[in-house]
Structure 1
Amino acid sequence: MAGLERYPILPDDSQRTWERIYESAEANNEFRNLAHDISQPTERFKPERPTSFPDDDVAVRKYIGAGVGLASLITENLLSHPFVVLRRQCQVHNNSVRYHLLPVTLLPVMVHLHQRQGFTTLWKGLGSALLVRGMTLAVEDIISKVTPWPKEITWNSSLKSIGQHILLKCVSLAVVTPFYSASLVETVQSDIASEKPGVLDVFRDGFCRLLSWSAPQKGRMLPVWALVVPTVAYGLFRYFFTLIVRGTTSRLLHISHKYEQRKQGALSREVTTQAASQDIELHAALFAVFAADVVFFPLETILHRLHLQGTRTIIDNLDTGLEVMPILTNYEGAADCYRATLEQEGTIGLYKGFGALLLQYAAHLAVVRLTKITLTRLSVLFPRQPPRQSPPPENPVTTGRGSSHSYAGSFRQ
C-alpha cells in the first residue's frame, strides 16, 4: 500500500512479541519496588516488642512475697518483743489493780517506763528468748536424726508418723523447759532493780534447774518435774491447734479466692494465682498464731506464774510504770494456781495484759501491709528490661546473589 513502505511489517508472532515486552516491563517494575522495600524496611521487618513479660512478673511477685515473709519473720521474733515483755509482766503480777485488757491503758505506762529506764527497757530478755527458740529447733533436729521420729507431718501422714511426731515434740519441750524458765525471768525482771544478765546466763540458770530435776523443793520454787507436764501440755495443744487453724483458714481463703474469680467471669492467670497463694498462706499463718494466743492466753498466764514462782524476781509495777515490786506466790501446781486466780482476781484475771497482745498483732499486721505496699511501689518505679529478641533472619533477596541474577535474567529476557 502506498505510504506504508517505511513502516516495518510485523511478523506472524507479533502478539507474542508484545506479551514478552510487557512481561519484561512488569518484571522491571517489581524489581524496582522490591529494591525500594529493602532500602526502606516497613513494619513487617521490625520485631514486635511484647507489652508484658510473664517471666519478669513471676520474678517480681516472687521477690515481693519473699520480702513480705522476711518482714513478717523479723517482726515476729524482734519487733514484737516489747509487747511480749509487757504482756508477761501483766500476767505474772497477781496483785495488780489494772488488768490492761485494752491497748489504751498501756500507752501511758510505756511512756513512763521509757522516761525512767530508757528505750531499751522493753527489749530485755530478747537474746535469751531467741536462744531458747533456736535451742528448741536444734533439739528437734537432733532427735529427728538419731530416731525415726519425723520432724514434720502432713494431712496424709499415717497414725504412726503422727504419734512419733508427738513424741518428738514432747521430748523437745521437756528438755527446753528449764531454759524457758530462765528466759522468762530475764524477760520480766526490772532493769533498775536487778543486775543485767549476761548473754549465756540463760544456759547457766537453765542447767542449774535441769540438774535439780528430782531435788526436793527449795522455798517456793517448783521442781522441774512439776513444770514439765503443764509446759509440754500447753506447747503440744497450742502446736496442733495452730496447725489445724492454719490449714482450715488456708483452704477457706483459697476457696473464697476461686469463687471471687469465677464470679468475675474467669480464673486468674498463673502469675496472679502464685501471688494470691503467697498472700493467703501468710495471712493464714498470722491468723492461726493470733487465734492460738487468744485461746491459750489463760493457760499461758498460769504457766508463767508457775515458772516464776520462787525465783525472787522483781518486776515493774505496770499499774503506774513508776515503781517496782517483788513477785511472791505460793502455788502448789497448775490446778491450785487456776483456782487461786479465779478466787482472787476473777475470770478476767486470766486475761491480764490482753491489750499488749492486741498491740502486738496490730503492729505485726501494719508492718506486713506497709512492706507489701513499699515493695510493690518499688517494683513499679524501676522499669523492667524487655527480653532480648533474636535478630530476624536475613532476607535472601538482599544477600543472595542468585536471586539478583534471576531477576536480572528475567529483565534481560
Structure 2
Amino acid sequence: MAGFGEYSSYNRPYGLDPNREPNDLYDTRYQQIYGYHTPITEEFQGPPLVMDDIPDEENNTYVTTAISVASLITENLLSHPFIVLRRQCQVHNSLKSYHIFPYTLLPVVVRLHRRQDVTTLWKGIGSTCIVRGLNLAVEDVVAKGTGWPKEIGKCSSVLQFLQHITLKCVSLAIITPFYSASLVETVQSDIASDKPALFDVFREGFVRLLEWGTPSRGRMLPIWAIVFPTVALGISKYIAHITLKSITMRILRFQQRHRHELSDAYSSSSSYSKNSQNPLIEDLNLKANIFSFITMEILFYPVETIIHRLHIQGTRTIIDNLDTGTSVTPILTGYEGFIDCYNTTIAREGVAGLYKGFGALVLQLAAHLAIIKLTTLVVTEVSNLLKPAKSPTTSDDSIHSQQKYLFN
C-alpha cells in the first residue's frame, strides 16, 4: 500500500486499519501516547503486545520433558502389573469371567494380594525389560552392519523406508524366542512354580531357538510357526502407529494454527517453525504419540490375544485362576496355528473371547493418562513458583483505552 509500509500483526495496535491513509493527527497522538515518533512512511513499529496465547517456551520445555520421562517410565515399569493381568486373561482359554470391564478385576486383585505377596503382579519385570533392551541392541547392530536407517525420521526415500521396515522385521524375528520365554515368566503363577532367575530368559530363549522345527515338549509349536505372526503383528502396529501419529500431528498443528490466527497472535516464522526442537512442536508431537499408542493398543488387542496363546502353548505353564484369585490352573491348548487359534476361540468363547482382560488394558491406559496429567500439573506449578517475577507491562485494558483515544 502506498506510503504506509508493510508491517505484521505483531507490531500494529488493535483496530489499526492497514488501508487507512496516514495523517498528522494520528502521528501526533501516537507520539503523545507512546512517547516517540514513528514516521508513517516507514515500517510501523507499534508497542509490544502481551500475547497470553503463546506459552512461555522455557516453561513448555520443562513440562514436555517431564511428560516424556513420565510416559517412558510408566510404559516400561509402572504399567507392568496391568500387563500381567491382561496377559493372564488372554492366555486363559477356559476363563469364565472375561474381565472386559475394569471393575470385575478389582476383587480378584485383592484376593491375589491376600493369598500371595505384593510382588505377584510384578513377575517377569526383569525379563520384560531385558527383551526390550535386546530389541534395541539388535536394531543397533543390524543398522550398523547393513547401513539401513534405524529411525524413521532419517528415511528420505521409499527405498530407505523399506530398509527401515526390513530392519524392524529382522529385529522382531530375532527376539521372538526370547519374547516367548519372557511371556511365560510374566503369566506363570508364583505359588505353583519356581521363580526364574534374572537371566533365565536367555537360556529359555536359546532353547526355543535351537528347537527351531522340532520342539521337545508336547504340543509346543515350533518357533518358525510363531515368528511370522509375531513379526506381522509388531510391524503392523508400528506402521499403523507412525501413520496415525503423522495424521494426528497434522490435525493438532492445524487446530493450533487456527486458534492463533483467530487471536491474531500467530507467526509462522517463530512459534510454528518446522524445527523439531521447538517446544510447541515437541508438545504436539508428544500428544500425537500418546494418542497413537492408545489407539494401537486397543485396535490390535484381539490379534495380540491369539499370538500370546500360540506362544504359551505347550510350555506347561500354570497361571493364577483369575475367576477366583485364590487358585491356579494349567494352560492346555492344541492350536495348529494362527488361523486355527482364531477359529477355535470364536467358536468356543465368542468374539468377546478375543477381548479377555480388556479391563486391565483400560486400567493401564487410565493410569498412564493420570500419571501424565499429574506430572503436567506438578511441573507447571513448580516452574511457575521458580520463575522470576516479570516487570509490570501495560495491561490489555490500558492498551485498548489508549487505542480508543488514539483513533477517536
Q: TM-score range by the shorter chain?
A: 0.7 to 0.9
Cα separation, 2, equivalents of 1:271 and 1:386: 21
1:306 equivalent in structure 2: 310
Which AA in structure 2 matches 1:259? H
Q: Is 2:355 aligned against 1:355?
A: no
Q: Which stretches in structure 2 are left out of the alignment for 5+ residues?
A: 1-47, 392-408
Task: Say if 2:202 is the partner of 1:221.
Answer: no
Name the TM-score, length of structure 1 as normaliser. 0.77
How far residue 158 of structure 1 moved from its aligned partner, in angstroms, is 1.7
**2:337 maps to which of 312, 326, 333:** 333
Q: Kindly, what percent of the aligned residue pairs are identical?
A: 55
- CA RMSD, 1 decimal: 2.4
Q: Distance in 2 between matches of 1:209 and 1:380?
A: 54
**Counterpart residue type for residue 355 of structure 1:** G
- State the match for 2:65 in structure 1: 66
Cα pair 2:149 2:155 within 8 Å, conserved: no
- Say yes or no: does 1:375 pair with 2:379: yes
Post-superposition Cα deviations, 1:223-253, rounded to whole Å, max 9, x if no partner, equal 1111111111111111101110111111111
* Match of residue 176 from structure 2: 177
Distance 2:320 2:155 in 1: 48
Alignment of 1:177-256 (within 5 A): 177-215=176-214, 218-256=217-255
Q: Secondary structure at the match of 2:152?
A: coil
Unaligned runs of 5+ in 1: 1-49, 388-413
Please list, as runs of the form range in 1=range in 2, the aligned pairs for 1:254-265 lying within 5 A after superposition: 254-265=253-264
Q: How does 1:263-302 map to 2 (within 5 A)?
A: 263-267=262-266, 270=270, 274-302=278-306
Q: Shift in Å at residue 149 of structure 1?
A: 1.7
Matched with 1:46 is: none
* In 2: Cα distance, 1:226 partner to 1:218 partner: 15
Select 2:322's aligned residue among 318, 324, 328.
318
Q: Is the 8 A contact 1:189 1:316 kept in 2?
A: yes
Q: Return the letter of the residue paired with 1:294.
A: I
More helix by share: 1
Q: Aligned residue for 1:160?
A: 159
- Between the aligned partners of 1:366 and 1:272, the Cα distance in structure 2 is 28
Instruction: State yes or no: 1:120 paired with 2:87.
Output: no
Give, in angstroms, the shift of residue 160 of structure 1: 1.3
User: Residues 92-120 of structure 1: CA distance to partner in whole angstroms, max 9, x if unpaired?
Assistant: 01001111111111111111111111221
**Alpha-carbon distance between aligned partners in 2 of 1:153 and 1:278, rounded to the nearest angstrom:** 17
Letter in 2 for 1:183: S
Comparing 360-369 with 216-225, greater Cα deviation is found at 216-225
Partner of 1:151: 150
| Structure of higher CA gyration radius | 1
Q: Does 1:96 align with 2:95?
A: yes
Residue 259 of structure 1, CA deviation: 1.1
Tell me, yes or no, if the aligned pair for 1:57 and 1:271 is still in contact at 8 Å.
no
Equivalent position of 2:83 in the other structure: 84
The answer to whether structure 1 residue 364 and structure 2 residue 363 are counterparts is no
Q: Distance in 2 between matches of 1:386 and 1:246?
A: 37
- Asked if structure 2 preserves the Cα contact closer than 8 Å seen for 1:221 and 1:309, the reply is yes
Cα distance, 1:216 vs structure 2: 5.2
Task: Find the residue that maps to 2:189 and give its secondary structure.
Answer: coil
TM-score, reference length from structure 2 = 0.78
